[in-house]
Structure 1
Amino acid sequence: MKLAWILWLANLLPQPAADQLCLVTTVYLEARNQSDLGQRAVAEVALRRLDSGRWGDTMCEVVTAPKQFAPTLISPNFSLSNVQAWTRAARIALELQSEWKQPNWERNLVVPGADHFVVHEIASPDWAQGTPVATIGDHTFYKVRARY
């Protein structure tokens, strides 16, 4: 299934199904080769960004904000063809999305406060400075201060 088709479908689906599809797609694209913990951390960053409201009011807006997550950084013709990886990403993303409905103090946070992540072998953004919140697999997670 092509990324463009998934994003098109997300535009047609009602909430919360659209946001679930966008979160699962992002976890798959960003971290399908990572551990469960690494995938959970990626989902946590996306959910934290949604909570902040700075990147959009829906998960689909958050993960399709320009140059923020893989859905806008890779070709729309990219094929999401690993069914096993998709199933695992869906399980992890949907579990965390359900847990995220709990108060902050009841969440089992993997990367507390992190709202950005980077794979240093791919990119070196200027915001990736200072002490990271965590490094899980090849992803390094940061809490980046807002620049208003």
Structure 2
Amino acid sequence: MDEAGTGRDDRQPRIPNAVADPPIETISANFVPIWQSVTLRPGLDAALSTPLDGGGAAIFHSRKDDRYAGVPAKLAELVTSDQADVLATAYAPTDPYHEATSPFDSLLKDANDGSGRFIPPLAKGDHDWLRRPLPASVFSKTEQRCLATAVYFEARGESARGQAAVAQVILNRVRNPAYPNTVCKVVYQNDDWFNRCQFSFACDGIADRITDKAAYGLARDVAMAVAAGKIFLPDVASSTHYYASYVNPGWARAMEKMTRIGSHLFYRTFGGGLS
């Protein structure tokens, strides 16, 4: 897999504003009374849970508060999930409406497997391994550093979406039992094979120096957002391979082309099987 050399897309979408305390006549399905939607922190002032018919001003909590909580503005338009993996503490709600001792209690009832772990959606052609939750170690500083480093060197010239696609491929390999079960082992697999390893930056003989701190900051944000499940690209789906448009690897002819994002083309095995 080759590092892209295209220019970065610097568009930075804004996070939609969450409306606080909307007038009663404008309340929509997006807003639910806090006493119906989340667990109140013990000891919180009773005024926060005063029903509308009690004569007080009820406090409302928007579902968007959880959807975009912790998400950098530049990634907001890529968010595909209201919930984050329970282990991704970077996305733990910090507002006073959530239980302080268990910040994800209000999310667990809506988690897609009932455990609070993010499970990617399975589509036609995907293999069952895609529905494996990531190992807890993926959220450690070391693993996140490996993922951000790979995104930086493989795709820093791509848009945020293109970088997210590369991160998704790496995490797909972590889920796939045919590959190592840690990010660092996936990224540096066969790194002692000069120019023949899995990710070109890891075995090209060039020192891996981070010279663009802003670009690395974006790569780090992308890495966490994809690991947390806040971003999952359906068109990339269970892809485990990609290559830059200026090369023509022989293995591509034996795989299913999924999509092109920027200068990268993404592939999965036919039937979503192991490879």
For the superposition of Structure 1 and Structure 2, which TM-score range results when normalised by the shorter chain? 0.7 to 0.9
RMSD: 2.2
User: What's the TM-score once normalised by structure 2's chain length?
Assistant: 0.43
Structure 2 match to 1:140: 265
CA contact (8 A) 1:115 1:143 kept: yes
The correspondence for 1:60, drawn from 175, 178, 184, is: 184
User: What's the TM-score once normalised by structure 1's chain length?
Assistant: 0.77
Counterparts of 2:252 and 2:171, CA distance in 1:
20
Distance 1:25 1:116, change over 3 A: same
Structure 1 match to 2:207: 77
CA contact (8 A) 2:177 2:274 kept: no
Cα shift at 1:75: 2.6
Cα shift at 1:23: 0.4
Distance 1:120 1:31, change over 3 A: same
The correspondence for 1:46, drawn from 166, 170, 173, is: 170
The correspondence for 2:242, drawn from 103, 106, 117, is: 117
How do 1:18-33 and structure 2 match up within 5 A? 18-33=142-157
**Match of 1:62, as an amino acid?**
V
Cα shift at 1:78: 3.4
How do 1:3-18 and structure 2 match up within 5 A? 15=137, 16-18=140-142
Range with greater deviation from structure 2 (43-52 or 128-137): 128-137
Identity of aligned residues (%): 29
Whose helix fraction is larger, Structure 1's or Structure 2's? 1
Distance 1:141 1:108, change over 3 A: closer
Q: Larger C-alpha radius of gyration, 1 or 2?
A: 2
Cα shift at 1:107: 4.6
Cα shift at 1:71: 4.1
Tell me if 1:93 matches 2:93.
no
Counterparts of 1:79 and 1:86, CA distance in 2:
11
Provide, for residues 108-138 of structure 1, a one-character-per-residue CA deviation record: whole Å limited to 9, x for no partner: 53401211000131x3221112651000010
Cα shift at 1:147: 7.2
CA contact (8 A) 1:26 1:70 kept: no
Counterparts of 1:77 and 1:85, CA distance in 2:
17
CA contact (8 A) 1:127 1:144 kept: no
Distance 1:147 1:90, change over 3 A: closer
> How many residue pairs end up in the alignment?
128
Q: Match of 1:133, SS? A: strand
State the structure with bigger RCO (CA 8 A, min sep 6), 1 or 2. Answer: 1
